[in-house]
Amino acid sequence: MIELYDSQRAMRNMRKAAMQRGVVAVLDVGTSKIACLVLRFDGTERLNDGEGVGAMAGQAGFRVIGAATTRSRGVRFGEIEAMQETERAIRTALQAAQKMANIRVDHVIACFSGASPRSYGLAGQVELEGHVVSEQDVSRVLSACDVPAYGEGREVLHAQPVNFALDHRTGLSDPRGQLGQVLSTDMHMVTIDAVAVQNLAHCVKRCDLELAGLASSAYVSGNAALVEDEQELGAACIDLGGGSAGVSIFIKKHMIYSDSVRIGGDHVTNDISMGLQIPQATAERIKTFYGGVVATGMDDRELIEIGGETGDWEHDRRTVSRAELIGIMRPRVEEILEEVRARLDAAGFGYLPSQQIVLTGGGSQIPGLDGLASRILGQQVRLGRPLRVHGLPQAATGPGFASAVGMCLFAANPQDEWWDFEIPVDRYPARSLRRAVKWFKDNW
């Protein structure tokens, strides 16, 4: 179990080094765009190390000094498909961001939405060695979680302890120092395809950078788009991206479920392109300018020139009404939302005390989406924009940058993961020898 986290530990160390140097880049590898932000840490994040979240939501410690976006290439469903192309796109974004920041970046924290994340709930239980819960006990209970067989070729991306219970008391966020007999924990684990991670790591390495962290985009965009009480009381964040829609459910400030639906905005564009027989680029343009999901009588009269370059006058002067466009888009959007609904139902979202749903990501900008979503997903739906962070350019404050902003927060104050705790002592060989001696002493 422990060997598996060596790479995660290495990445954590790298992240620490990057923090010490003060500059780190975050990279959101999406299907439709690649966004890169360069963060500078001022070293003031220790100021509000205390209880709760400060006035700036714990993000006073860093500042965005460079931001760049480029059209993504070679990525489908949030997974890298053509390495060379993706590498070039990453290079473009990074170069522009470095140029804006006017500093060289060596460490990058990346997130991606694809690679079919799967989420598991783990439970572990140990008897305490003493009466007081120590760090070692926490480590032991975390290692005592029975890990499911998540299959060959998959890797653990997140493993976060979400709850501790001591004897009959549950809901403890930090059991250290408390008295009790039996310590148990609940852990949330997300696994992804190892190949996707390796591809991304390779691309990043080809750009002369070091990968200092990985995150699931559903998780980080939930971090950015959900406000504090939503995270506390229970909410789902749906990140409608280009190639896939990420779903993450939060309660008590922890993510408890994460999944992704492999349909996204690109499919809507594809539908328009096929339905109207126009090139992909035009379809994308029409979608962003005139798209919608609720048709009104006015839309029948609004004609859109869809153009063409064939030289045939008739063909090049085609028009469609906006109602037609909406008629193409709506079924696909409904399909996405229904798919999301199915995932939420499977996760038991309906049993949460609060069922707030937040739509974010570039796809959430379709006019009228909130109405449609509230019909499919439930009454409490709102459109979410990412938190405001220091120095973020206006162009990067839209919902499409939720995961990029979430990555900043993730870099500034990361959640404790399994590998952030110490290795339990009884895993060390010296300790096992001592245990053998102890056993002899006890029995002879």
Partner 1 sequence: MQQVNSDTPNDPAPSRWSYRFQRLMLTPLFRKVLRVGIPFCLTFAIAAGYLSDRDRQDSIRLAVADFRHQIETRPEFMINLLAIEGASPSIEEDIREIFPFDLPASSFDLDLESVREMIVGLPAVADADVRVRQGGVLVAEVSEREPVVVWRSHDGLALVDIEGVVTDELDARSERFDLPAIAGAGGNQDVPGAIAILEAAAPIKANVLGLVRIGERRWDLVLKEGQRILLPEENPVRALERVIVLSQVQDMLERDIVVVDMRLSDRPTLRMNERAVEDWWRVTKLTVGAQQQ
In the complex, the residues that contact partner 1 under the rule CB under 8 A are 70, 88-89, 91-92, 94-95, 98-99, 102-104, 207-208, 309
Tell me how far, at minimum, the Cβ of 106 lies from partner 1, in Å. 9
Tell me how far, at minimum, the Cβ of 104 lies from partner 1, in Å. 4
To the nearest 10 degrees (0 to 180), the angle between helices 280-290 and 265-276 is: 110
DSSP E strands: which ranges in 128-196? 154-166, 169-172, 182-193
Tell me how far, at minimum, the Cβ of 326 lies from partner 1, in Å. 28
Query: Running DSSP on this structure, what letter comes out for residue 15?
Result: H
**Residue 298 to residue 18: CA distance in whole angstroms:** 55
Tally Cβ neighbours within 10 Å of residue 251. 21
* Cβ atoms of residues 21 and 106 within 8 Å: yes
Tell me how far, at minimum, the Cβ of 268 lies from partner 1, in Å. 23
CB burial of 304-319 (b: ≥16 within 10 Å; e: otherwise) equals bebbbeeeeeeeeebe
For residue 381, what is the enclosing H or E element?
Answer: strand 381-383
**Residue 253 to residue 52: CA distance in whole angstroms:** 11
- Give 103 or 123: the residue with its C-beta nearer to partner 1: 103
- Give 91 or 188: the residue with its C-beta nearer to partner 1: 91
- Give 93 or 156: the residue with its C-beta nearer to partner 1: 93
- Give 23 or 326: the residue with its C-beta nearer to partner 1: 23
- Give 41 or 410: the residue with its C-beta nearer to partner 1: 41
* Cβ atoms of residues 241 and 222 within 8 Å: no
Cα–Cα distances (Å) from 314 to 102, 310, 311, 317, in that order, read 51, 10, 9, 5
Provide φ and ψ at 332, rounded to 5°.
Answer: -70, -45
- Give 30 or 117: the residue with its C-beta nearer to partner 1: 30
Tell me how far, at minimum, the Cβ of 88 lies from partner 1, in Å. 4
- Give 94 or 405: the residue with its C-beta nearer to partner 1: 94
What the block records as the tokens of 61 is 């410690």
Q: Which of 267, 304, 273, 293 is nearest to 372 (CA)?
A: 293
Tell me how far, at minimum, the Cβ of 305 lies from partner 1, in Å. 18
Tell me how far, at minimum, the Cβ of 272 lies from partner 1, in Å. 19
Q: How far is CA 194 from the centre of its chain?
A: 17
- Give 15 or 91: the residue with its C-beta nearer to partner 1: 91
Tell me how far, at minimum, the Cβ of 308 lies from partner 1, in Å. 12
